[in-house]
Structure 1
């Protein structure tokens, strides 16, 4: 038994439009052609698919049983045609992005993926939260194609990179934390209290730059914010990540006398330069650069 796609398309069009004549108009064929295709389908399957005893043909029990399978076959065929066309046009079948969600606003990502789905519906997209140096490690391990994070000290020649914005850091604590009672906390004041820090899975739980000897680490911005609000320590983190908490007064800036605000740090978009970039990667690099610069939320530093 050999069933043609043309037969299946005629069958589904007749089901969806309610008549052979309407199916013919939808497919741009003569009504006699649609009738012939459906008759041949019934002959090839050995099943009566439509009841023609009424003015408009109605699906039989056998036709109803096959309808979902026909839909699935045609959907799979269309997907295959679309995938072949995209591969010919150098559209990647899959692409991955790792980003530090303490630095990158989720509204930016949500807007990006809505437009990406419309532009590349057959490409598999993977988004990974990766704190600290995690995004770059995933890029080095070839687990993603693009990384977004703070600028590294240097990049090897195999990577391309561009700055897509500036990240302003500040020292903050819960309104109930003892440091907020000091008008100008000094460095010695800070080291007497626990610092809360973001880390990643590969870097481990402790770092040589720990000044307090009593730092707590986590790889989740949500956990860090929860610990801040509980008054379990202070943190030097991006202002945008605590913008709403600063506005409602639950988190406050520490007006440290040595430097109230850290110097802005560059937020970088990094990718591997090996081979020719496909259309998905080119689209993402251009869109991320443009979108993040235009929509980066502003946070008052007053």
Structure 2
């Protein structure tokens, strides 16, 4: 019962719309036609709305009925999801899976796993959010997320269980119009860009908006412009506002076209083999069945 409604009344209404008649609905639901008629009459009386026009030889659905039958479909679908989620919870499935992802993580390697997750657990609510750099770790520690796909710099924290998935190559770059671009040309002749060269210029950094000062790995400039999303930072990079390190796959085309110039930095702390992307969770909070399934699928796809 939902107030003065019952799910059975709504089911009868939707079945009439699908089959085209009261008699066909009775056959499909295994009831006599008089029971179908009584269910609809009760629904009309309680709601004070005529769902069918009975003036002709055969009842025809009214305009109000056509609108309300679509609402009935939504209610029945929601009820089915409710029952499926309750059944999953009884079986030990987590009621929701929240995933946090750092902005540097490429989307393509994750799409297949997330698609298969939705097919394997079709009624599991999945929340997906892209965080500022370091935000995924913060959400794990606050229990706002069960799994993070993230960077963990400079090392994996002791309270986090992390599984390496893939590496992304990073490249320091600057717009061709920026003063540092001239130093980049000198680097090809054996003089890399130094800390002293970088310090006066704006560095475009990714940071967590909740705790912008918490992660300063790789910072070399005295002037920082902080960004949450990678796309907007790329816009400002191409606009010549500063320099930064970017995933190579995102800037290779701009380097080849001459819009961006690669910087070779002396004693650059960025690993030459690239940055490691991890799947991670708190050691004190083991993911449920769906979370473990996702972790296993990611590892099988990306580590093979």
Q: Structure 2 CA distance, aligned partners of 1:69 and 1:207? A: 51
The Cα RMSD (Å) is 3.5
SS of the equivalent of 2:76 reads helix
Tell me, yes or no, if structure 1 residue 123 matches structure 2 residue 128: no
How far apart are 1:132 and its partner, in Å? 2.9
User: What count of residue pairs does the alignment treat as equivalent?
Assistant: 289
| TM superposition score normalised by structure 2 | 0.77
How far apart are 1:106 and its partner, in Å? 2.8
Return closer, same or farther for 1:142/1:185 CA change in 2, 3 Å cut-off: farther
Aligned to 1:139: 140
Aligned to 1:300: none
Aligned counterpart in structure 1 of residue 279 of structure 2, from 253, 269, 276: 269
Q: Structure 1 CA distance, aligned partners of 2:223 and 2:276? A: 28
Q: Structure 2 CA distance, aligned partners of 1:89 and 1:206? A: 40
Aligned to 2:8: 6
Tell me, yes or no, if structure 1 residue 220 matches structure 2 residue 221: no
Return closer, same or farther for 1:97/1:38 CA change in 2, 3 Å cut-off: same
Are the counterparts in 2 of residues 93 and 122 from structure 1 also a CA contact under 8 Å? no
Per-residue CA deviation, residues 71-97 of structure 1 (Å, 9 max, x unaligned), is: 344233222212211212223222221
How far apart are 1:147 and its partner, in Å? 1.3
Which stretch shows the higher mean deviation, 191-200 or 129-138?
191-200
Aligned to 2:90: 88
Aligned to 1:241: 250
Are the counterparts in 1 of residues 171 and 248 from structure 2 also a CA contact under 8 Å? yes
Which stretch shows the higher mean deviation, 129-138 or 117-126?
117-126
Aligned counterpart in structure 1 of residue 207 of structure 2, from 192, 199, 202: 199
Are the counterparts in 2 of residues 18 and 57 from structure 1 also a CA contact under 8 Å? no
| TM superposition score normalised by structure 1 | 0.77
Q: Structure 1 CA distance, aligned partners of 2:219 and 2:73? A: 60
- Unmatched segments (≥5 aa) in structure 2: none
How far apart are 1:256 and its partner, in Å? 5.4
Which stretch shows the higher mean deviation, 207-216 or 92-101?
207-216
Q: Structure 1 CA distance, aligned partners of 2:256 and 2:139? A: 34
Aligned to 1:15: 17
Aligned to 1:282: 292
SS of the equivalent of 1:101 reads coil
Per-residue CA deviation, residues 160-202 of structure 1 (Å, 9 max, x unaligned), is: 2210011222222223332333224635545323243322231
Per-residue CA deviation, residues 108-154 of structure 1 (Å, 9 max, x unaligned), is: 45555544444444433322222332211111111111112223423
Are the counterparts in 2 of residues 167 and 264 from structure 1 also a CA contact under 8 Å? yes
Aligned to 1:167: 168
SS of the equivalent of 1:192 reads helix
Return closer, same or farther for 1:11/1:237 CA change in 2, 3 Å cut-off: closer
How far apart are 1:281 and its partner, in Å? 1.0
Are the counterparts in 2 of residues 206 and 217 from structure 1 also a CA contact under 8 Å? no
- Unmatched segments (≥5 aa) in structure 1: 295-302
Return closer, same or farther for 1:181/1:112 CA change in 2, 3 Å cut-off: same
Are the counterparts in 2 of residues 170 and 261 from structure 1 also a CA contact under 8 Å? no
